[in-house]
Amino acid sequence: MIIKKFFLLLLFLPLLFYSQKTIMIEGESAVDINQQSLYSTSNKNSINFNFSPNLPILTDAPIATKNVSLFFELQNNNENDSLFYITSNDDVSEFYLFTKNNNKLLKIGGSGFSHFKTQLSVPGNSNAIVFVLKPHERKKYYLEVPKFDNEIYLPEFYVQSEKEFLIANYKNSQSYFTILSYIFIGIHLCLLFLGLYKLKYQKFRKPLVYFIILNSVYIFYIFFNTENLILENTLFPDVPNIIYEKILGALEPALYYLFFWSYLTFNKKYHYFGVFLKYSGLYWLVYFIVRNVQFEYEWYVKFCNFIKDFATIYDLIITFLVFLYLLKFNSIFYKFARIGVFLLLISALQMSFPFIMGLLGFSETPYVISEFSYIFMGLMIVLDFLLFLYGINLDELQAVKEGQEYKNELLSKELEKQKELEHERERISSDMHDDIGARISAMKLHGEFIKENFSEDPKLKAELDELFKNTEEMTVSMREMIWSLKSQNDFLQNFISFAQQYATGFFAKSKAQIHFKNEIEENQHFNAEIRRNLFLCYKEALNNIYKHSQATEVYIIFSTKNSRLQLEISDNGIGFQPNENNQGNGMYNMKTRMTEISGDFETPKVEKGMLLRFSTPLELV
């Protein structure tokens, strides 16, 4: 610390003998100190101060210059102790105020946007240093401005009274830039949540991940930029807040290029462009390094300045290439993505234009990008994000529409197929009734003729009776088959009515009494394949009861449960307990048929008789 102060004393020693005009401070007005000060750099006695205060002064100072100092004298003409502030209307990276006390340099304070936020002379203000002067006291001061980003920027500095400073500081806190910053935070927060909501859309999951990360980066960047988030002395000691801001500032365009890359598709012809776009963000890694690692070599300083000044032009080139590539796509999403990138292209052009003119030598390269450029860029980014989400939404709706159209097309084909099938079923049932029915009737008549004329032979009579029985069974089977083929019977109530008629006729000559119950009111469509298999199971169940149960009471109940048809058949007979390893053919057939139509077949245990429970869907899935 003693050596450092000794070198500072050596630095300012030649200037102690300069005579200069004392700056008188009276009342509440601000006083410009630049034109009433002496100047010095860290490696020569003085420089020409007739430079534009709005431009860097590398042309006036050697490359190895580390800082520029202003030397001035102030006198307080007020009657009371007064607080005064050294401030500037422009943003300054760093500046420090020194005074001389007992022939020793005394540091009063420091400020600037790259200064440690926890060590500011005026807490919460990165553009002011405060000090006290007694009534009519006169003091010499030394204002030092170090190099930042390989440049030294020396704007107009002012001495302000406390009252004027507080008024100006209040106005700055209420500036449109500050208000817009908070608005942008709110917008990006909403966009972040919208992105999280849209993550369910699988097609755009990767770009949505980058979208969410980008919005998070913007939120944190604005928090750092407005000094609402300070990480000094928390994560890493001796790292000022601006380093975190610079990291996020370099990360943002790199992530944006990855965002572009994630929603674009690249065929074999454009494969290398896709690779270039994916890794184009590495430029911003170099950008971050050269802004924070400084060497006193002329070639290195020129390289750093070129990388920094070319950054906005590089961003313009990348955005322009992405826009050109988007012209290849015609889908509704890419149309809106193209509009968004075009807006970003306009922003990149207006931001890079002053740097293009500077590199071409038509004007001075600007020291900083204007607030308007940042606001305009922020607005274009928000619009691009909104267009991106809107494009995803339209793409999703279009996918749903196309899916519905495809389903409608399949349904239309299925209905057409169903109509053809119904027509074929009607034709077959008609042919069976007209042809096979007529033949069975002819066989029956022929048999009756033989029986009437040749009935003397008992053996022949028995054969004819068997023939009549088989003919009658064939007639019943054919009637059932015709019933199953007719499409007008593909309704639930028709099936239940036919099942009741069949059971009544089947047990007409037996001792069993039928109790039939229909708990279903609606007449829903009933798939032909399901009702055919269920009816065959129904017949098999009634046949088992008739042959084996010795029942006198038979109960048949139709109902629905959970959109499925329930059929229960029970009796008061002797029951039937199938062997688990060797089920009867009838039981096995019923179970197999129900499995084919996604149905269930159960035989719950009951105290007396037997209970069969069938459950089927009304339509095949």
Per-range mean pLDDT, top range of 38-42, 146-150, 349-353:
349-353
> Confidence band (pLDDT; 50, 70, 90) for 19?
very low
Task: Output the pLDDT for position 213.
Answer: 95
Q: What angle do CA 578, 582, 587 make, to 5 degrees?
A: 50
The mean pLDDT of 434-445, rounded to a whole number, is 64
Task: Output the pLDDT for position 450.
Answer: 67
Task: Output the pLDDT for position 527.
Answer: 82
Question: Whole-number mean pLDDT of the chain?
Answer: 80
Q: What angle do CA 425, 431, 437 make, to 5 degrees?
A: 120
pLDDT at 123 over 90: no
Residue at token pair 């069974």: 473
| CA atoms in the 13 A half-sphere facing the CB of 163 | 5
Give first-to-last CA distance, the chain, whole Å.
Answer: 86
Give the model confidence (pLDDT) of 60-77 as tens digits: 445 566 778 888 888 888
Return the bridge partners of 148, or none.
Answer: 151
Helix (H) or strand (E) holding 358: helix 332-359
Helix (H, G, I), strand (E, B) or coil at 546: helix
The mean pLDDT of 117-124, rounded to a whole number, is 85
Task: Output the pLDDT for position 166.
Answer: 81
Q: Which CATH number is associated with domain 490-621? A: 3.30.565.10
Helix (H, G, I), strand (E, B) or coil at 37: coil
Q: How far apart are alpha carbons 507 and 513 in whole angstroms?
A: 8
The mean pLDDT of 87-95, rounded to a whole number, is 86
Task: Output the pLDDT for position 600.
Answer: 92
Task: Output the pLDDT for position 14.
Answer: 38
Give the model confidence (pLDDT) of 498-518 as tens digits: 888 888 888 887 888 899 999
Count of residues making up the chain:
621
Tell me the CATH number of domain 2-170, given options 3.40.120, 2.60.120, 3.30.450, 2.60.40: 2.60.120
pLDDT at 25 over 60: no
pLDDT at 474 over 60: yes
Task: Output the pLDDT for position 478.
Answer: 67
Top pLDDT among 262 and 298 is at 262
Task: Output the pLDDT for position 225.
Answer: 82
> Confidence band (pLDDT; 50, 70, 90) for 11?
very low
Top pLDDT among 251 and 574 is at 251
The mean pLDDT of 296-317, rounded to a whole number, is 86
The mean pLDDT of 485-501, rounded to a whole number, is 79
Task: Output the pLDDT for position 37.
Answer: 64
pLDDT at 460 over 80: no
Under CATH, which architecture does the 176-404 domain have?
Up-down Bundle (1.20)
Q: How far apart are alpha carbons 505 and 542 in whole angstroms?
A: 11
Task: Output the pLDDT for position 36.
Answer: 64
